[in-house]
Structure 1
Amino acid sequence: MNVEFIEALEQLEKEKGISKDILIEAIEAALISGYKRNFHSAQNVRVDIDRQTGRVRVFARKTVVEEVLDPRLEISLDASREINPSYQLGDIVEIEVTPADFGRIAAQTAKQVVTQRIREAERSIIYQDFIDREEDIITGIVQRSDNRYYYVDLGRVEAMLPFSETMPTERFKHGDRVKVFITKVEKSTKGPQIFVSRTHPGLLKRLFELEVPEIFDGVVEIRSIAREAGHRSKIAVHSNDANVDPVGACVGHRGMRVQTVVSELKGEKIDIVRWSDNIEEWIANSLSPSTVLSVTIFEDEKTARVVVPDHQLSLAIGKEGQNARLAAKLTNWKIDIKSESESLKENDVLVTSHDDQENTSLHYDQEGTPSDVDEN
């Protein structure tokens, strides 16, 4: 090897971001094996490549001992002091043993090692780039699909988008551009494996961060998200600045900001509600767009009894219980929804009788499971 080889390594370092020193160390390690294999040597050797000239030299490493039992690995004290008078017992003596035709072996080995290390380094670099982007959003191009995944080209690597992580109405074809949320990055023998999602709540959060500067700057915070991908989501926001309306900031002028997010999610409905550290107000807000008349909190059971106007009971519960279910997930509280007339009737019965009365209102827990609840 020569100066041109070193220059080639320096060029690789600039273009691929692979350290020249790391490549040379890998070549040196491979040449040790090559030397022992080609020259049938069992010696303990070290290969040195000059970082400036590319010159390759092989050194046999021998330990200084009083009595030599294995001349391939040991050297006597007298013999070592002929080389350098300062050697002591236990020191390591290096003697150059570079074969005459070792340059050819070195060149072949270097080519193999460099090719392999470039591949490994590129995989490592890609892995490091993407492991830092877990739980982030990225745009890719759909390349192909099989019976389980869409394969999305992210530039230097393909990500896997499971069918189960796409919205019910989504169907992608080759060449479609799509924003995805990186859920997991794993190492494998074939390089990094990147898994992405279109249904993860994090996608909704990142989309709002892209569209709402106040969220990106930290003025407005997203405190909670509940999502049924492709259908409806709720997002709770809070402002750290009394002069900034968090809901208005997310909606944008004439709804432009939220509509951009809705468009990216193929028409998914999004309710933006104001977070509050007052539990009653927080739960009332979570049931938007319905009006809430009162909220009664049962701390021990982490349950909230909510009363809504008669004509808004179905709105509060939502189609197939969706609004109440999302509110329960958003707040992490069980929510018992009653109509105003039902609540008044129940209160009247409680005043006039101690008999158990059947309550047919709907109750929703954090998992969104409705059930009939009997109250006394």
Structure 2
Amino acid sequence: KEFADKQDEIVSGIVQRIENNNVFVDFGRTTGIITRDEQIKGERYRIGERIKALLYLVEKAPRGINIYLSRSHPRFVHKLFEIEVPEIASGAVEVKNIAREAGSRSKIAVMANQEGIDPVGSCVGQRGVRVETVISELGGEKIDIIEWSADPEVFIANSLSPAKVLDVELKEGQKEAKVIVDEDQLSLAIGKSGQNVRLAAKLTGWKLDIHSSSGESVAKVNEDGEVKIEEEVKEEDK
């Protein structure tokens, strides 16, 4: 019963054993499981160490309950920020969306529900202390905190951070956007193997077509979130 109330919360327990790539976590009176898909890629878990995870499912089983945990779920990032950022816990700052490639990079879109509050600054914390706490819990995963906007042009430009965007042109009917960036910002906008533009497209829900300021299309994200990068940009990436 106590765990049914903790669904969608962060719980903490001790790694009890690891079997067939599944991590079993001891909570004293019961045990939870982190299946391989719910682990952060590249993380190593040690028996006896304390571990935090999102409790995403409590399932009735013939002999009690099964408790399923996740460290790779976007909600895990959301809930970690809720713990670190009082403004999120109070509702003054709202998390609108998260796009995550667990263990590598996340983009989190936030907005203020109260006048005079800086939503990005609240999440970063003084000298970065809040975001750094989340990053270290995630084993060094990079986190971009993006200001959400109801204006798709502004939100798309923000979402490609840390790259600076010159212009965004919307094709409303197809939910597609042409994004123009300076030559020296192209590799930042696209990211390693297309990761930055891929996460930006996922975060905003728009298909993005990155153009250089000289006019040609250099990278495109399709509806499946796959990025096609033109050859000359790939060379610079190496």
Output the amino acid matched with 1:236: A
Q: Whole-Å Cα distance in 2 between the matches of residues 257 and 372 of structure 1?
A: 34
Q: Does 1:219 align with 2:60?
A: no
Deviation at 1:366, TM superposition (A): 5.0
Q: Which residue matches 2:142?
A: 269
| Paired residue type of 1:363 | K
Equivalent of 1:187 in 60, 79, 85: 60
Q: Equivalent pairs: percent with the same residue?
A: 51
Deviations 1:300-343 (CA, angstroms, capped at 9, x unpaired): 100010000110101000000000000000001101001111x2
Question: Which structure 2 segments of 5+ residues have no match?
Answer: 231-238
Q: Is the 8 A contact 2:210 2:217 kept in 1?
A: no
More helix by share: 1
CA distance in 1, matches of 2:33, 2:63: 14
Q: Structure 2 counterpart of 1:370, which letter?
A: V
1:370 matched to 2:227: yes
Alpha-carbon distance between aligned partners in 2 of 1:179 and 1:366, rounded to the nearest angstrom: 34
2:34 aligns with 161
Map of 2:201 onto structure 1: 328
Q: Does 1:248 align with 2:121?
A: yes
For 2:206 and 2:29, locate their aligned partners in 1 and report how far apart those are by CA, in whole Å: 44
| Alpha-carbon distance, 1:154 to partner | 1.9
Residue 169 of structure 2 is aligned to residue 296 of structure 1? yes
Q: How does 1:1-376 map to 2 (within 5 A)?
A: 128-341=1-214, 343=215, 360-365=217-222, 367-371=224-228
Greater RCO (Cα-Cα under 8 Å, separation 6 or more):
2
Q: CA deviation at 1:199?
A: 0.2
Distance in 2 separating the partners of 1:338 and 1:174? 49
Contact kept in structure 2, 1:329 and 1:366, CA below 8 Å: no
Structure 1: distance between partners of 2:109 and 2:73:
16
Tell me, in whole angstroms, the C-alpha distance in 2 between the residues paired with 1:335 and 1:304: 5
TM-score of the pair, normalised by structure 1: 0.60
Aligned pairs, number: 230
CA distance in 1, matches of 2:100, 2:110: 15
- Tell me if structure 1 keeps the 8 A contact 2:17–2:24: yes
Find the aligned partners of 2:89 and 2:185 in 1 and give their Cα distance.
Answer: 35
Q: How far off is 1:279 after superposition?
A: 0.7
Q: CA, structure 1 residues 182+218, in 2 after alignment: closer, same or farther (shift >3 Å)?
A: same
CA deviation after TM superposition for structure 1 residue 163, in Å: 2.0
Contact 2:53-2:71 within 8 A present in 1 as well: yes
**1:27-79 residue CA offsets vs partner (Å, 9 max, x unmatched):** xxxxxxxxxxxxxxxxxxxxxxxxxxxxxxxxxxxxxxxxxxxxxxxxxxxxx
TM-score (norm 2): 0.93
Partners of 2:186 and 2:170 in 1: how far apart?
Answer: 19
Corresponding letter in the other structure for 1:255: G
Which one has the bigger strand percentage? 2
- Shift in Å, 1:129: 2.4
- Structure 1 unaligned spans of 5+: 1-127, 344-358
Residues 103-151 of structure 1, C-alpha deviations (whole Å, 9 max, x = no match): xxxxxxxxxxxxxxxxxxxxxxxxx322232221111110111113110
Superposed displacement of residue 155, structure 1: 2.8
Q: Which has the larger radius of gyration?
A: 1
Q: Which amino acid aligns with 1:179?
A: K
| Pairwise CA distance, 1:166 | 1.1
Separation in structure 1 between the aligned mates of residue 212 and residue 113 of structure 2, nearest angstrom: 35
CA distance in 2, matches of 1:135, 1:336: 35
Amino acid across the alignment from 1:270? I
Q: Which runs of 4+ in 1 moved over 4 A?
A: none
- CA offsets 1:132-189 (integer angstroms, 9 cap, x no match): 3222111111011111311001232100111221112211111111110112111111
CA contact (8 A) 1:328 1:367 kept: no
Judged with a 3 Å threshold, the aligned counterparts in structure 2 of structure 1 residues 314 and 233 are, in CA distance, closer, same or farther, namely same
Q: RMSD value over aligned CA atoms? A: 1.4
